[in-house]
Structure 1
Amino acid sequence: MREQIINRFNSGDLARAYDLCQAGLQDRPDDFWLKHRAVLCLIRSGALERAFAAYHEYRLAEIRHDEDCLAVGARLLKALALEAHGRDFARQAVESARKYADVHARTGGHYPAINAASMFMLAGEPAQAENFAREVLYGSFVNTPATPEEAYYRHASQAEAYLLLGDLSAARSTLKEAFRQDPENHLAHATTLRQLRLLVSVLGLDADWLQALEPPRPAHFAGHIFGLGEGERQLAISSETRLRDLVDMTLARHNVGAVYGALAAGSDIIIAESALARGCELNLVLPVPVSVFVDASVRPFGDAWRARFDACLERAEKITELTSDRRILSPETINYASLVAMGMSRMRAQVLATRPLQILIAEEADPEDPHAGCGTLHDGAVWSDCGLDQVRLAYPGQRQAMAAKTQDSGLEPGFRPAMRAMLFLDIAGSSAVPDDRVPHFVRSVLKSLAACCDDLAEPPLHADSWGDGMFLAFTTVEQAARAAESLRLAFAGIDMRAEDLPTSLGLRIAGHFGPVHEGEDPLQKRPSLFGGQVAVAARIEAATVPGSIFVSEAFAAALTMSSSDFRSEYVGQIRIDAHMPEHRLYALRALPVKAAARLRRARSARPAKPV
């Protein structure tokens, strides 16, 4: 069973890993490995309050001979502290620091020592922080780093220690050496950069020196569609060559790494080709299946583009088809795909602790332009509204570029298309409620959740329920995210023991964002939502860990472009249904206004002004 749990955990299938831990504990209630792994599943899935309760219920703090069990308590308190503020932050930071100090005393490791040092400093106890920082620098560590990654962390810990002691020169040189030890481990680098930015912000130190160490920047790209040749709405070969040179210079100048966008004829393909030539990772986000996209956005502009499209498609790192719609593109789906692609690039930048860039091939937007509400000009406006860096390369052809072939997105009579953010809720373990307590369960639990929905400042446009499940639909992802957090807190506030209900009950909330069909339900004779995107939202719920909010990549990406009140942590790529492709899922957490975690998310050393 352990191997199954580890495989599920490493693949991101946290719900099944957690369920396996629970099943194993039924037979082996004293197995501390299963208890430890169950708590890790909850931490990784964002269910921090539930993880904290399980940590104490399992009495992991009493297991003094296992380093993992010792460290998980400190890690949990650190996660809770970074989401707190004021006195709560200081108290939890001190508790975390003391637990890390205890782990270090028992294991002698540099990792718990540097975490103790940093948490003491964040808690306002510099003397303790400096003591542990010196231990990191001058203590004797038995183990010699055996891999580049281990060597990286040893040097990174020392760089952090120098920073805590105020020696910026030594911190810079040691951190550079750490990056040289494991140069391609960008995720590890990002973890260090976020930690150091948090410390320099608290200590009031200069952060500009971190800029040079930032990894290559993710970028979103978009541009006008055009054909090649002479004539109206065509671009001469010589103009394409000059445009390609400008794209190459831009990619090099701004240290661009992974790129995200579509692959229409003209600008998209030119940028994608240039990125691939530089060794950048190409991620394609298409609103419809590839064949439909080709018919609308590539084939009409010349056979030469089709061959270049296929060559880029073959080398793409990831191809995301957001819908299974077989119709020609609509303006709504074009904007939807662009929003998701922009969000993906921004989420990637957050993971890498840098700032994303947008590269556009287009003229300056004209508010009176009838095309400003869709496509490239719309993308540019959305990105600019977020205050993110943007490079706009002038389109060298006629001001009015060719557009993709689109059609009105009308459906069958009685139906209309809409973009909706959807939530599915289910109470795991409700089948364990004894029959005689079911009416009480309905009144004390389901009625509480319904009352929470009624009290929302922005109530759902559509709501339905069956058994212990609920389905809610909203206009925007921000509304859905706020509703999900309110429902999570409402459920967490119910005292199951006092209500004589199983304490194992847990609320699972799943979210998705996408195009749906609105029409009348033939059975209930009232408006309802239909389509494959509704099914995606429903299937995610089954993969959600109780106490967590799991959302699709589309939901997380769209939310990233419109709100800083939430953090989306990558869970894994999960097959949510045997008849659906795997989906990348994220755990959603609300961040208090003054939470320290906010400092870790957004700040790059790069200037936040347009390029």
Structure 2
Amino acid sequence: MRERILERFNQGDLARAYDLCQDGLQDSPGDIWLQHRAVLCLIRSGALERAANAYHDYRLAEVRHDEDCLAIGARLAKALTLETSGFEFARRARDSARKYADVHTRTGGHYPAVNAASMFMLAGEPGPAETYARQVLFGGFEGADGSAEQAYYRHASQAEAYLLLGDLSAARSTLRHAFRQDPDNHLAHATTLRQLRLLVGVLGLDADWLTELEPPRPTHFAGHIFGQGQGDGQLDPGQENRLRDVVDAMLSRHHVGPVHGALAAGSDIVIAEAALAHGCELNVVLPVPVPVFMAASVRPFGDAWVRRFEACLDRAEKVVELTTDRRILSAAALNFASLVAMGLARMRADVLATAPLQLLVAEAPGMEPVAGFGTLHDGEVWAGCGLEQVRIDYPGVRDPNPGKPLPAADLEPGFKPVMRAMLFLDIAGSSAVPDDRVPHFVQTVLKPLARCCDQLAEPAVHADSWGDGMFLAFETVEQAARAAEALRQAFVAINMRDLQLPTSLGLRIAGHLGPVHEGEDPLQKRPSLFGGQVAVAARIEAVTVPGSIFVSEAFAAALAMSSEAFRSEYVGQIRIDALMPEYRLYALRALPLNAAANLRRSRSARAAQSI
């Protein structure tokens, strides 16, 4: 169990690592290692309030014989520091530095010493920073290296200390040595790189030397469908082999890591096979269940592709089926799956402190018009976010109508498929309001929330209510996220005690993105939204912690491609309904745009190349 947790943790798959910790704690609820690692997963994913609650619930502050448990409280303070800016940043950095210094006094360890040094430097106090940096270098930490991870952190701490003392040459050579101690611990490398980038910025030093040590880059892939043979929409064996060779070269040249995309016949499968051969993790994101996708986008091009499709699926780390549709209903559904795959790659890159990449097999920009969906559309979306892209020239002549045509937009008279970002919200504990106070509750609690909805700069395109619940639908996830945060703040501003209402009342907000059917409600005789994705949004609301905004993975991934004003923090894999599969849920969190934790790398310093 521990080995599996460390494997996923080191690869930056914090969601899976956290879930495995929770599985282990079911059998061993007092296991300190599992408790500490679970809290660390939450901190690394940005779920700071939940990390603080878990730290308190596990009573890790009472563990006196373990330096990691002692330091995790200071680590929480450091994470909160990185979500602030200006005067508040300096104040919090100083508080975190003092906490680390206290741990160092207790244990004499290099880890709290180097963090005390760095946080003092970030707080604008170079004197104490240099004192603790020298403790790291000359404090007698030369014992046996122990595990590869312990050896890594020892040498990485020394590299950080050299940097704080202005010895850039020693910092560079020591950091390279640290990475060799634990070469596959990409998450640890990312944490170090993120901190060193902050420090070189404060010290006014060159940061380009850090680029060569970046973890493998999370990548979104896409490419044109093709069959095997000759003619439009087909490649002969020689053309496919040459394409595979170029893909293979690009994977190496651009330091590609986990890949995310669909698995249609042709380019998708060629890229996936090459990535697996390189040892890259494969994550498959499909708009429909596997059999439906295979029937539409794989089988029509030959049984050989079916066998290769199934072989890739067997080796995939994750397969996401976004809907239960029995056919691909629209271009929007295809774009939805692509957007989620792109967002997952970008979210993973944020965790690993590196720049995401997109690998396309397509014509050069401007050679073909961008369609409403498919590879060229995906390329436009990615490029529109300012993210790095590598294009490999498609070696054949593309079939203008690959596979089966998409159905007409109207599947049933009066109905049409649309993509909507949906919010469900209700007041937890409202049943505690005495009956005679219900009108007062409606006027003083529900009415301000309704007023907030009316005042949104981008109002909902659909709204409904019942009792203490509301349902809002928006055209984009960014609109929905801003609305959710506005409603959360509006509720926080309501003083229940002054209104003589139960102080236990709490607002729960849930968000989900997906394709739904828009048509007339037979009872209310007005437009409404229908479908399984509406039910998903409603069920998420039922498991949301009062005071929080919980969203689906699809919502979080799409938001990662459209806004830097929010962070989606992993909550866990939760069964939202007895008849539904488990869903990975995230807590939505608004961040100041200039916060240190909100700095993203959109491009690598490695030169972009295309063939």
Aligned to 2:19: 11
Contact 1:362-1:395 within 8 A present in 2 as well: yes
Return the offset for 1:9. Answer: 10
Equivalences for residues 546-557 of structure 1 within 5 A:
546-557=546-557
Aligned to 1:323: 323
Deviations 1:233-280 (A, max 9, x none): 322222112111111111121121211111111111111121122222
CA distance in 2, matches of 1:121, 1:498: 45
SS at match of 1:284: strand
Q: Deviations over 1:16-55 (max 9, x none)?
A: x9xxx9xxxxxxxxxxxxx999999997896767988x89
Amino acid at match of 2:547: G
Instruction: Tell me how far 1:10 sits from its aligned partner.
Output: 4.2
User: What is the CA distance between 1:366 and its match in structure 2?
Assistant: 4.1
Report the more deviating stretch, 358-367 or 409-418. Answer: 358-367
Write the distance in 2 (CA, Å) between the matches of 1:216 and 1:271. 16
Provide the secondary structure at the position in 2 that maps to 1:374.
coil
- 1:332 maps onto 2:332 in alignment: yes
Give distance in 2, aligned partners of 1:578 and 1:261. 29
Which residues of 2 match residues 298-313 of structure 1 at below 5 A? 298-313=298-313
Query: Once the 2 structures are TM-superposed, how far is the Cα of residue 402 of structure 1 from its aligned partner?
Result: 4.6
The 3 A distance-change label for structure 1 pair 435 and 114 is farther
How far apart in 2 are the matches of 1:263 and 1:321? 12
**Aligned with 1:473: secondary structure?**
strand
**Paired residue for 1:398?**
397
Gaps of 5+ in 2: 1-14, 30-34
The aligned counterpart of 1:262 is 262
Q: 1:317 Cα shift?
A: 1.6
Q: Are positions 1:348 and 2:348 aligned together? A: yes
Correspondence 1:163 to 2:163: yes
**3-state secondary structure, aligned to 1:135:** helix
CA distance 1:61–1:397, change in 2 (3 Å)? closer
Contact 1:360-1:380 within 8 A present in 2 as well: yes
Q: CA deviation at 1:517?
A: 1.0
Distance 1:96 1:448, change over 3 A: farther
Change (3 A) 1:468 1:200: farther
Is 2:450 aligned against 1:450?
yes
Corresponding residue number in structure 2 for 1:386: 385
- Residue 423 to residue 607, structure 1, CA distance change in 2 (3 Å): farther
Equivalent-residue separation in structure 1 for 2:408 and 2:480 (angstroms)? 28
Q: 1:152 touches 1:182 (CA, 8 Å); kept in 2? A: yes
Ranked by relative contact order (alpha carbons within 8 Å, sequence separation 6 or more), the top structure is: 1
Partner amino acid for 1:101? A
Say whether the 8 Å CA contact 1:46–1:588 is kept in structure 2: no
Which residue matches 1:571?
571
Change (3 A) 1:137 1:451: farther
Indicate if the aligned counterparts of 1:267 and 1:361 stay in contact, CA closer than 8 A: yes
Report whether the alignment pairs 1:222 with 2:197: no
Q: Secondary structure at the match of 2:304?
A: helix
Answer yes or no: is 1:589 the counterpart of 2:589: yes
Match of 2:273 in 1: 273
Residue 186 of structure 2 is matched in structure 1 by 186
User: After alignment, is 340-349 or 519-528 more displaced?
Assistant: 519-528
The alignment covers a number of residue pairs equal to: 583
Residues 233, 397 of structure 2: 8 Å contact kept: yes
Q: TM-score, normalised by structure 1?
A: 0.86
Q: In the superposition, relative to structure 1, how do residues 324 and 136 fare at CA in structure 2: closer, same or farther (>3 Å)?
A: same
SS in 1 for 2:580: coil
Q: Deviations 1:140-176 (Å, cap 9, x if unpaired)?
A: 5698654222222222222222222222222222222
Greater displacement, 95-104 / 119-128: 95-104
Match for residue 136 of structure 2? 136
State the alpha-carbon separation in 2 of the partners of residues 143 and 469 from structure 1. Answer: 60
Q: Which residue of 1 aligns with 2:9?
A: none
- CA gap 1:10/1:180 in 2 versus in 1, 3 angstroms: same
| Matched-pair identity in % | 73
CA separation in 2, counterparts of 1:266 and 1:39? 43
Read off the aligned partner of 1:545 and give its amino acid letter.
Answer: V
Q: Following TM superposition, by how much is the alpha carbon of 1:516 offset from its aligned partner in structure 2, in angstroms?
A: 0.7
User: Matched residues in 2 for 1:391 and 1:185: separation?
Assistant: 26
Superposition deviation, residue 427 in structure 1: 3.1
Q: Where does structure 1 lack aligned partners over 5 or more consecutive residues?
A: 1-6, 22-34
CA 1:468–1:113 in structure 2 vs 1: closer, same or farther (change >3 Å)? farther
Contact 1:197 1:603 in 2 (8 A): no
Q: SS at 2:157's partner residue?
A: helix
Summarize the alignment of residues 39-58 of structure 1 with structure 2, pairs less than 5 Å apart. Answer: none
Contact 1:566/1:588 (8 A) holds in 2: yes
